[in-house]
Amino acid sequence: MNTVYIGMGIAALLWISFKMHRRQRRRKKVIDVLERNCSGCRRCVKKCPRRALEMVEDETGIHATVKYPDRCTACGDCLDKCKFNALQLIERI
């Protein structure tokens, strides 16, 4: 029974530390789109939980852009979905 409580305590500590690390990263980083690599597949836009990305069409074609950088938490969900290396994390300005 004690091992269950110890395991639950360790899991809780890991969860709390992960949340704190994610919050610190959110303040420092934001997603940036490399337009030359973007194919317009919309995978990143669909995966973004905060709806920070949006598709735009201009003279170069259809590509993703960071429409609302203040919403971006730098969670990396969109980075995992991008197969064309069109997204990167950069320092906030």
The pLDDT tens digits for 32-60 are 999 999 999 999 999 999 999 999 998 87
Per-residue model confidence (pLDDT) at position 45: 94
> What gap in Å lies between CA 42 and CA 46, rounded to an integer?
6
Least Cα distance to 78 among 18, 34, 14 occurs for 34
> What gap in Å lies between CA 33 and CA 86, rounded to an integer?
6
Q: What percent of the chain has pLDDT over 70?
A: 90
**Torsion over CA: 12, 76, 29, 43 (sign):** negative
Q: What is the mean pLDDT of the chain?
A: 87
Confidence of residue 18 (pLDDT cuts 50, 70, 90): confident
Least Cα distance to 56 among 70, 75, 71, 42 occurs for 42
Per-residue model confidence (pLDDT) at position 44: 94
Residue 26: its H or E element? helix 2-28
User: Is the pLDDT at 23 greater than 70, yes or no?
Assistant: no
Per-residue model confidence (pLDDT) at position 20: 66
